[in-house]
Structure formats: C-alpha cells, structure tokens
Amino acid sequence: MPAAQETNLQGQVAPVGASYSTVYRSVVVPGSVAAAELRFWIWRRTQSSVGNGDRQSMRILKPSVYSTLAEVRRGLANDTGWSQVVYDMRAFRGQTVVIYFEVYNDQTSYGPRSWMYVDDVSLVTCATLPPLGGESPALRLPLVLVQG
C-alpha cells in the first residue's frame, strides 16, 4: 500500500515522505482598539542546512478559505534559544483571523529534520481612550462593601 500524502490547512499537498506539523487558532481582533499586537516566543531548530527545502513559518490566515493575509515569519533557522516575536495586528481590527504556525519537512523517512517550539502566544490590545479635555463616558465599577 503506498504511503499517504499529507495536506496542510491551506490545501498544499506534501510529496510522499514529506510532512507538515501545524498548530492554529482563530482569534477576533477587536475593532475599537488603538493597538493590537500578536506576541509569541519561538525556538526554531533544525538538523538541515539552509536551502534544503525544510521551513518554519508563521502566518495570519483568512478563516474558512485559509488564504494567507500576512506572512509573519518564514525560513529555516537553528536558534540557540528562545526569541520573542511581536507583530502589529492593527490591520486586522474588527476581523476574525487564524494564527497559524507550521513546520514543513521535505523528507521524514531519512535525512535531517526541522522543528519549532512555540510558547506564550497572546493577542494584546489597548483600548482607545477619549481625547484629553473631552467628555469621558461614565466609568462604572462594581461596588464592594467590606465590613470590619
């Protein structure tokens, strides 16, 4: 029985013997924020030499059709430790997007391998503040009574 070919989320088919390793999540970028940043830590590792066909990537995708809206990282690296990536997400305010991490190995049955650790992925937003001297909306906080 011939080996099955793998397909990634975007419908790309890997040749027999190659593989995709992926992790992804849909997120909503609020529309009314002044700032929005995607932050994550990565540690890219490989046994391969640059240019052999393996790659480590991170993309922002459109939901349902999974087309690429932005390519945050793409390449092949053998890092010596963790590094933080911060990506400006303001272009996607008011949208649902897919945060997509992928490692492609062009041959898994023999030869060198590539991989990537990903940690602490977060979407950090900052609300829009009213202009100085302008009228602010009422701020309502919960009332907490403490009896002593």
Q: How open is the CA angle 136-138-141, to the nearest 5 degrees?
A: 130
Q: What residues does each domain of the chain span?
A: 19-127
- What pLDDT is recorded for position 56? 93
Neighbours of 140 (CB within 10 A): 6
- What pLDDT is recorded for position 129? 62
Rounded CA separation 3/17 (Å) = 8
Domain covering 19-127, topology: Jelly Rolls (2.60.120)
Radius of gyration of the chain (CA): 21
Rounded CA separation 141/119 (Å) = 34
Interval 75-134: pLDDT, tens: 999 999 999 999 999 999 999 999 999 999 888 667 788 999 999 999 999 886 666 665
Interval 47-77: pLDDT, tens: 887 667 899 999 999 999 999 999 999 999 9
Q: Is residue 119 a contact partner of residue 40, using CB atoms and an 8 Å limit?
A: yes
Place of tokens 């997007």: 97
